[in-house]
Amino acid sequence: MESAATRLWLMRTTYVMLALVIFFFRLLPLDMTPPLWAGPDVLLALTFAWALRRPEYVPVLSVGLVMLLADLLFQRPPGLWAALAVVATGMMKSRARGLRDQTFAMEWLSVGIMIVGLVLGYRLIMSLSMVPQAPIGLTTIRAVMTVLIYPVVVAGSVFVFDVRKSTPGEVDATGKTP
Amino acid sequence: MSRDRNRSDEYVRPLGRLLTAVLVLCLIGIFLLWRIDSPRVERFRAQVVDRVVPSFDWAMAPVTAVVNVGRDFQSYRQIVQQNRQLRRELQQMKAWKEAALQLEQENARLLDLNKVRLDPRLTHVTGVVMADSGSPFRQSLLLNVGARDGIKDGWATMDGIGLVGRISGVGRNTSRVILLTDSSSRVPAIVQPSGQTTIVQGNNTMAPPLAFLENPDDVRAGDRVVSSGDGGIFPAGLLIGQVAKSPEGQLRVRLAADYERLEFLRVLRTPGLERITAPVSLVAPRDQTTNSAPDGGEGGQ
């Protein structure tokens, strides 16, 4: 049986590794034609799913660095999406306790609202700072796809990586009740 | 229980909050820095990409190959149809070949008469496509040649037939090609045979529209579009594609390069291009550079 601290660091590493795997598949040079639709932002869904289940597995530093790397790799304005994602993940973590006893539908709803808010805020700041923007159609498709993929990501996290909501009274590796 | 939690959080929470705040401020600082001094941050970005992407390369090549084998296998199912179609096309092509041979001989004679030498400065470096932009919003790709091979910003990139894009962002071992389809791509071009100048304006679709045509009526579907070299930031005479008219009457370019299979690309060595070093120094007459500012960071990459 692995100790709680080992498991904590193992899962923190797993999060970063999963992010790298996601980057890898997005960078594969398969098709250079401009797409008619946009795929989901799996990394964001994964971050939210883990932040709601085990906030200690996605510390703010690793979320920030991973998102900044994504900004740099995918030709986005560096830093902005990362900053918003860190703030959103923090808000998700603070809601984790309240959502623990709720149904999955409630959780999905609040994640959906958060994703839409995040995208709107991102576009707002981009237009305020007069950065040329991606077409709104593609951005909408991407947000909707991210919300739709969320249950799949949650299922994967729970059944493959055993990232479940903590039961009341459970003590995590840092010695506090989550 | 709740009081218990509060006590243990008393020290941890503020520290975490402070860390979050510092991190968010740093990230926003990076964004502001990028907004103010885009070229510098974009150089940093090229260096990061240069470090990260080659480390994926060992796995990327086999995975891409496997996916492509799968796609090829799918196309085997339609092989009978394709074969028939190819035979038909081959017949047509034979006729064209005759015509081409005659033209080639004629051309050689004429060149000989004129003692024309094709531009000897245009040599090329061939690179392999390593990765794409990874984002549906940006159309670019990463080549495995970089500053080490003498690649410079602004050089043109072609596949065997047509123009693909221009180099923008050079790392030591990699360089990024902004494709003609990217929404920040603008290439001055000329439509033949009417000789009208235009700008091929990428807009994230497969067929970029032609902008700023003086007489759209003189341009017909099927006309050739080649780069014009206006402004000295791009070599002239490279084939871009053919004009196509959309049902709404908009003129677009059907690109000559095969965007579905970009594997090996030629980067044309073009010495003597105008270099854009700082965001303010646009390619324009000296006295005008000060009162016209570029439109944004995406152009400055």
Set of chain B residues whose Cβ sits within 8 Å of the Cβ of A135: 137, 183, 204
Per residue in A86-123, pLDDT tens?
A: 999 999 988 888 888 888 999 999 999 999 999 999 99
Contact check, Cβ <8 Å, A28/B9: no
Best residue in B11, B20, B201 to probe A by mutation, most A CBs within 10 Å?
Answer: B20
Across all residues in chain B, what is the average pLDDT? 81
The one-letter amino acid at B276: I
Burial of B217 (0-12, 13-18, 19+ CB in 10 A): exposed
CA–CA dist B75, B12 (Å, integer) = 59
- The reply to whether B134 touches chain A by the CB within 8 Å rule is yes
Residue found under tokens 């040329």: A132
- The reply to whether A137 touches chain B by the CB within 8 Å rule is no
Q: What percent of chain B has pLDDT over 70?
A: 83
* pLDDT at position A35: 79
Across all residues in chain A, what is the average pLDDT? 87
* pLDDT at position B295: 43
pTM of the model as a whole: 0.77
CA distance B23 to chain A (A): 7
Per residue in A42-95, pLDDT tens?
A: 999 999 999 999 888 999 999 999 999 999 999 889 999 999 999 999 999 888
Q: Which H helix or E strand runs over A160?
A: none
Among B16, B34, B67, select the one facing A78 at the smallest CB separation.
B34
The confidence band for A28, taking pLDDT boundaries of 50, 70 and 90, is: confident
Cα–Cα nearest to B158, from B251, B269, B60: B269
- Taking only residues 85 to 114 of chain B, the set having a beta carbon closer than 8 angstroms to any beta carbon of chain A reads none
Pair of tokens at residue B116: 């024309």
- The reply to whether A60 touches chain B by the CB within 8 Å rule is yes
A178: Cα within 13 Å, side-chain hemisphere: 23
The confidence band for B293, taking pLDDT boundaries of 50, 70 and 90, is: very low
Contact check, Cβ <8 Å, B132/A135: no
State whether residue B61 is helix, strand or coil.
helix
Set of chain A residues whose Cβ sits within 8 Å of the Cβ of B5: 176-177
Chain A residue closest to B179 (CA)? A32
Among B129, B136, B184, select the one facing A39 at the smallest CB separation.
B136
**Model ipTM?**
0.86
Set of chain A residues whose Cβ sits within 8 Å of the Cβ of B158: none
Angle made by CA atoms A92, A98, A103, in degrees to the nearest 5 = 95
Kindly list the distances between the CA atom of residue A59 and the CA atoms of A7, A66, B10, B156, B217, in Å, as whole numbers in the listed order.
14, 11, 18, 44, 61
- Taking only residues 169 to 198 of chain B, the set having a beta carbon closer than 8 angstroms to any beta carbon of chain A reads 179, 181, 183-184
* Contact criterion met (CB below 8 Å) for A173 and A5: yes
Per residue in B114-165, pLDDT tens?
A: 765 556 566 888 899 988 887 888 889 999 999 998 898 888 998 878 899 9
